[in-house]
Amino acid sequence: MDPIIISLIGLALAIGVPILSAAISIIICGTALAGVGTEKPELLSRLLITVVLGEALAIYGLLIAFMLLGKLPDITTMDAANKALIAGIIISVAAGAAGAGISYSGSSLIAATAENPKTFTSNVIGVVLSEALAIYGLLIAFMVIGQI
Amino acid sequence: MIELDETIESTGLANHQILVERIAAKHLDDYDEIGAKFAELAKFVIESERYFGKRLVNMKKAVEDITGTIETALNFEEIREDLLTLWRIVEEEKQIAEEQNKFVRSAKTVFFEAWVTTSLDKEAAERIKEASDGNCMISDESPVRDEKVPILIHECPSYLQAFGKLECAYGHPSSGDIDPIRIFAITFPILFGIMFADVAQGAIFVIAGIIFTLLRRNGKAEKGGDIIRYLLISGEMLIYIGISAIFFGFIFGEFFGPSGVIHPIFLFRIGPFQVGGFEPTQEPMMMLRFAILVGAIHLSLGLILKFINELRHKHYKLAPIPICSIWLLFGSLFMWAYWGGISNISKWFAEGSLMFVGLVVSPLIVILLVTGLAEGFTEGLGFTVEVFAETLSHSMSYSRLMALGLVHSAMNYLFLVLGGVEHGVFPLHSIPLITVGTILVMIIEGLVVFVHTLRLHWIEWFSEFHSGEGIPFKPFKST
């Protein structure tokens, strides 16, 4: 297969899957947030963190896609193309996992905080740790791109 | 249906017709009965509607009469003051009654406990004596060690108000802990500036911040919706983060993105860590190292605060732990830098094994011994593993400084390319596009960077020393 096609598949994965997972986490957390907003609007500013952390997943995908786009002219060998594909796969899997984590723990965090606002500080850890998963994937994807 | 089937079977198919007719006739009788009942009901409904309609008209008349008499008999403007005073008195009585509900009482005695600040305890005792004509017993008890004491929340100075709100959203400091707001107000803009490094956009932030601050000082904060109020409160904060963004914009050479107007300014270099003098998009690994260095410094600041907190609480046995954590943090950072990155990790265990023991293993052993002696070795082992994992994951987490910084740069670069900006020259036709791009980047990126800065502080930094479990002291005040 043509190296360019392979690296383009990597690029598509790198932008597509993180955006999907960001969308899923925003859909789930955003609807939960809207429900809480009607009852306890004072909690909204705190709970907004779930939606924005979900959005950040798309940004990580965007970053890797940008970097791959910049590397496209250099990709001539199959070896480099495979690395581009692998980088795309890494960030998509990591963002997918982080998206699942944010969706589940984010919506639970919102419901729990609406019930008892004191639990926010301990429960938010679930959301931010899920989001950290994407950062680990991002770092490794980044290092793989650096080797192209 | 079952009944019907059985009957059909028993009588044979010939009788089918007769059977159906018989059943239908039986049901028709039922329907007639129901129909009659419905007719009765309908009559009843019509009658009652007439009856209640009349009563409703009468009641409406009565209400109109009453309002008419009130309006003619009383002039509300005149008695408004009296009514307000009465309302205040009732409010005060209600407050007192609510507080009294918390008292324990028998037929002749009342018992209550309350927190009083040290400066006011004598006065409070005097007041209670006065109110009860001396028929009271007061015992003054100081809080026992490690008891949860409500903390006095000092009013934030207006230039720190936004940071105060962000800190309170996480939780108040526990009693005896340092209130980190002033340090928070310094580190927050720095981390924001690293991710949002841009001279021009920073300047826009500063201008917006000045406008919002002026508007708020002129008392416009009360008007407008929630978002307007938040913006006005964050006026000063926008100025700080704008200044920080300008500073890092000069260091990384960004003016509406990597446009080439400003060249990166080299500041200094510590080993492989270089501050300034490179474009993050061109040398992302350099940026990553810088981000991790910033993270290590930020985390060690938190650990120093934890050390001070432990001393203030007189937990001398646990005080060495934060120091060992700093040792571990910088030790592993040094190992990482000295042996040339994570790809050479095998050298840590070969040539560098002595250094590895000294810089990474020893602090962990000391932590294990210290917690083991203070709280038992099973607890200590768990805690040591936790310290190791947290040090690793928390410092890794600061790589988001690099990631978001690059994304910010890349998003700006997109609009620069679309607008045809080359070598620092902005053609006239690119200005509308750059304007749109700047607005988009400042809103979307600004929000994302803001939340990530907040997250770095809330999770990575506060978890080192700031429990957020403090209960604010709310003295009884009659309004």
Query: Across residues B3-32, what is the average pLDDT?
Result: 63
DSSP reduced 3-state for A130:
helix
**Partner residues linked to B275 by β-bridges:** B268
pLDDT level of residue B472 (50, 70, 90 thresholds): confident
Partners of residue B403 in chain A, C-beta under 8 Å = 59-60, 63, 135, 138, 142
Cα separation, B468 vs B180, in Å, equals 11
d(CA B334, CA B147): 40
Sorting pLDDT into bands at 50, 70 and 90, what band is B1?
very low
Question: Residue A47: in which H helix or E strand, if any?
Answer: helix A44-71
* Averaged pLDDT for residues B324-329: 92
Contact B245, B209 (CB under 8 A): no
Among partner residues A52, A62, A121, which is closest to B447 by beta-carbon distance? A52
Q: Which of A127, A65, A124, A133 is nearest to A97 (CA)?
A: A133
pLDDT in tens, B32-86: 778 888 888 888 888 888 888 888 999 999 988 888 777 776 666 777 888 888 9
Q: Is A41 on the interface with B (CB under 8 A)?
A: yes
Contact state of A146 with B407 under an 8 Å Cβ cutoff: no
C-alpha pair distances (Å), A96 with each of A6, A23, A58, A62: 21, 11, 10, 14
**Residue B225, number of CB atoms within 10 A of its CB:** 7
Render the burial of B127-159: b for 16+ CB within 10 Å, e for the rest: eeeeeeeeeeeeeeeeeeeeeebbbebeebeee
Rg (CA), chain B: 37
Q: Which of A79-93, B88-102, B144-158, B292-306 has the lowest mean pLDDT?
A: B144-158
CA distance A131 to A68: 22
Any chain B CB within 8 A of the CB of A5? no
Cα-based distances in Å from B206 to B210, B238, B241, B243, B443:
6, 6, 8, 7, 15
**DSSP annotation of B197:** -
Taking a C-beta distance cutoff of 8 angstroms, is the pair B262, B199 a contact?
yes
Asked whether residue B479 carries a pLDDT value surpassing 60, the answer given is no
What are the backbone dihedrals phi and psi of residue B172, each rounded to the nearest 5 degrees, phi first? Answer: -80, 150
Range B304-308 average pLDDT:
93
Mutate to test the interface with A, among B292, B397, B443 (most CBs of A within 10 A): B397
Give per-residue pLDDT as tens, B361-403: 999 999 999 998 888 888 888 889 888 888 888 888 898 898 8
**For residues A131 and B455, what is the distance between their CA atoms, to the nearest angstrom?**
11
Question: Tell me, what's the ipTM?
Answer: 0.77
Decide: B380 and B368 in contact? Cβ < 8 Å: yes
Determine the distance in angstroms separating the CA of B448 from the nearest CA of chain A, rounded to an integer. Answer: 6
Using a CB–CB cutoff of 8 Å, tell me whether A128 touches chain B.
Answer: yes
- In which residue are the tokens 């005896």 written? B176
pLDDT digits (tens, 9 = 90+) for B177-219: 888 888 999 999 999 999 999 999 999 999 999 998 888 888 7
Query: How far apart (Å, rounded) are the C-alpha atoms in residues A135 and B395?
Result: 12
Highest mean pLDDT among B5-9, B227-231, B363-367, B387-391: B363-367
Residue B297 has a pLDDT of 94
For residue B404, the chain A residues in CB contact (below 8 A) are 56, 59
- Per DSSP (E only), the strands in B221-353 are 266-270, 273-276
CB contact under 8 A, A132 and B393: yes
CA separation for the pair A109, A32 (Å, rounded):
10
Asked if the model's pLDDT at residue B14 lies above 80, the reply is no
pLDDT over threshold 50, residue B323 = yes
Q: Which residue among B169, B403, B468 places its CB closest to the CB of A63?
A: B403
Task: Going residue by residue through chain A, which has 148 residues, state the pLDDT in tens, using 9 for 90 and above.
Answer: 788 999 999 999 999 999 999 999 999 999 999 988 888 887 887 888 888 888 889 888 988 898 888 888 888 899 999 999 999 999 999 999 999 999 999 999 999 999 988 888 788 888 888 888 898 898 889 889 888 8
Q: Is residue B451 within 8 angstroms of chain A, CB to CB?
A: yes
Give phi and psi for B179, each to the nearest 5.
-85, 110
Q: What is the pLDDT of residue B288?
A: 87
Q: Which pLDDT score is estimated for B268? A: 85
Per-residue confidence band for B2, with pLDDT thresholds at 50, 70 and 90: very low
With CA atoms as reference, report the closest residue to B410 among B198, B193, B251: B198
Residue B221's pLDDT is 59
Task: Count CA within 13 A, CB hemisphere, residue B87.
Answer: 6
How many other C-beta atoms lie within 10 A of the C-beta of residue B317? 13
| Burial class of residue B199 in the structure, from the number of CB atoms within 10 Å of its CB (0-12 exposed, 13-18 middle, 19+ buried) | buried
Q: How far apart are CA B377 and CA B194, in angstroms?
A: 42
Q: Which residues contact B419 (CB under 8 A, 6 or more apart)?
A: B426, B427, B429, B430, B431, B433, B434, B437
A127 within 8 A of A51, measured Cβ to Cβ: no
Q: Distance between CA B41 and CA A114 in Å, rounded?
A: 48
Closest residue in B to A63 (Cα–Cα): B407
Please list, in sequence order, all residues whose beta carbon lies within 8 angstroms of the beta carbon of residue B318, skipping any fewer than 6 positions away.
Answer: B310, B370, B371, B374
Any residues with CB less than 8 A from the CB of A48 and at least 6 apart, and which? A33, B451
Closest chain A residue to B466, measured at CA: A121
Phi-psi region of A28 (alpha: psi -120 to 50; beta: other; left: phi over 0): alpha
The structure tokens 């939340």 sit at B451
Burial class (CB in 10 A: 0-12, 13-18, 19+), B347: middle
Q: Using the predicted structure, report yes or no on whether residue B6 has a pLDDT greater than 70.
A: no
Per-residue DSSP letter, B425: B
Of A41, A66, A125, the CB nearest to B459: A125
CA atoms within 13 A on the CB side of B280: 33
Are B377 and B385 a contacting pair, CB within 8 Å? no
Q: What is the mean pLDDT of residues B150-158?
A: 80
Q: B211-221 pLDDT, tens per residue?
A: 988 888 887 65
Q: Is the pLDDT of residue B7 over 50?
A: no
B448 touches chain A (CB under 8 A): yes
Using alpha carbons, select from B243, B264, B241 the residue that is nearest to residue B252.
B264
Q: Helix-strand-coil percent breakdown of chain A, rounded to 5?
A: 95, 0, 5
